[in-house]
Structure 1
Amino acid sequence: MAKESSFDIVSSIDMQEVDNAFQQAKKEIAQRYDLKDSGAEITLDKAKKTILVAAPAEFVARQVIDVLSSKLVKRGIDLGAVKWGDPQAATGQSVRQTGTIIEGIDKDTAGKINKDIKAEKFKAKVQIEGDKLRVSSASRDTLQEVIAFVKSKDYGQPLQYVNYR
């Protein structure tokens, strides 16, 4: 009997890299001539995994988010991992915008991935284990096909394929 091979589908973010990108963005905002004295601020809450941008205008908030996004990309963080909310009016003319860092696969997304894999009729088993999915099959080629199939779909968050054995 052939031994089963498997891999895990996860969605994980290196919070240290997010923090490094945040620190770089904060430094650039303090030094850039068009943002230096604008009153724009950026804060990171590692525990809640949120980023708060406070700016005097929506245009400035978008510029700050662009600076942060460029730093995240340079650090290897997928921009799909940060979901930005709508700008909210704060005191005076200022606005606040909150970005949430998505980590782990929620039940709805896991169910959708599971359903899509089963609909393609791959000879593979899918198990939902908390915030990850384990895909196993007797054939490694089938697992490669499942990875290619899931990569071709968009589930609204970055996915990684780990523990391939």
Structure 2
Amino acid sequence: MAKEHSFDIVSEVNSQEVDNAIGQAMKDITNRYDFKGSKSSIERTSDELITIISDDEYKLESVIDILQMKFIKRGLSQKSMEFGKIERASGGTVRQVVTLVSGLSAERAKKVSKLIRDSGLKVKAQIQNEQVRVTAKNIDDLQTVIQELKQQDLDFPVEFVNMR
């Protein structure tokens, strides 16, 4: 019997890199002239929540831009951030909560699985918890699947792990 090759499709956020991006963004904010005397801050309130506080909506947008640039430099996907609505906070400031999305929901896993089936390649896609396992007899088919998924404009980040 021929050997089966496989890999997993997941959607994960590297927690340490997120912390590094937040630290670098805060360092930039404290050093920038346009933020002197500002109450701007970025704080990680839980594993999947980041709270951004600033004086007004204009400065809040600037803080978000800085954070997004640090995410890019650290190799984190912009698609892993879901922004909540802007709220009024104490002391005349504004606050926005960012949710870090990790794990493939059932709906997203089905979408990935359907894209793989529609490719016409001889591969099997199997949904397992918050990931999709792709198996095939030919490793070239698996690499083609990876390339096709990278070309798709998905609204969530995907990573390819456990290549066997």
- Structure 2: how far apart are the matches of 1:145 and 1:62? 39
Aligned to 1:109: 108
Q: CA deviation at 1:105?
A: 0.9
2:28 equivalent in structure 1: 28
Partners of 1:148 and 1:97 in 2: how far apart? 35
Q: Structure 1 stretch 29-38 or stretch 61-70: which is displaced more?
A: 29-38
CA–CA distance in structure 2, aligned partners of residues 65 and 118 of structure 1 = 38
Letter in 2 for 1:4: E
**Aligned partner of residue 16 in structure 1, secondary structure:** helix
The residue number in structure 2 matching 1:37 is 37
Partner of 1:53, secondary structure, is strand
Query: 1:141 aligns to what?
Result: 140
Instruction: Quote the Cα distance in structure 2 between the aligned partners of 1:160 and 1:35.
Output: 36
- Opposite residue 10 of structure 1, the aligned amino acid is V
In structure 2, give the amino acid aligned to 1:8. D
In structure 1, how many angstroms separate the alpha carbons of the residues matched to 2:115 and 2:17?
32
SS of the aligned residue for 1:67 comes to helix
Corresponding pairs, count: 164
**1:126 aligns to what SS in structure 2?**
strand
- Give 1:57 deviation, angstroms: 1.0
Shift of 1:134: 0.3
> How do 1:78-93 and structure 2 match up within 5 A?
78-91=77-90, 93=92
Instruction: Provide the rounded CA distance (Å) in 2 between the counterparts of 1:153 and 1:164.
Output: 20
Gaps of 5+ in 2: none
TM-superposed deviation, 1:71: 1.6
CA distance in 2, matches of 1:26, 1:129: 38
Instruction: Within 5 Å, give how 1:148-163 maps onto structure 2.
Output: 148-163=147-162
Shift of 1:154: 2.2
Q: What is the root-mean-square deviation in Å for CA atoms of aligned residues? A: 1.5
Stretch deviating more after TM superposition (15-24 or 68-77): 68-77
Measure the CA separation in 1 of the matches of 2:36 and 2:109: 43
SS where residue 34 of structure 1 aligns?
helix
- Say if 1:15 and 1:46, in contact at 8 Å, map to a contact too: no
Gapped regions of structure 1 (runs ≥ 5): none
Is 1:13 the counterpart of 2:10 in the alignment?
Answer: no
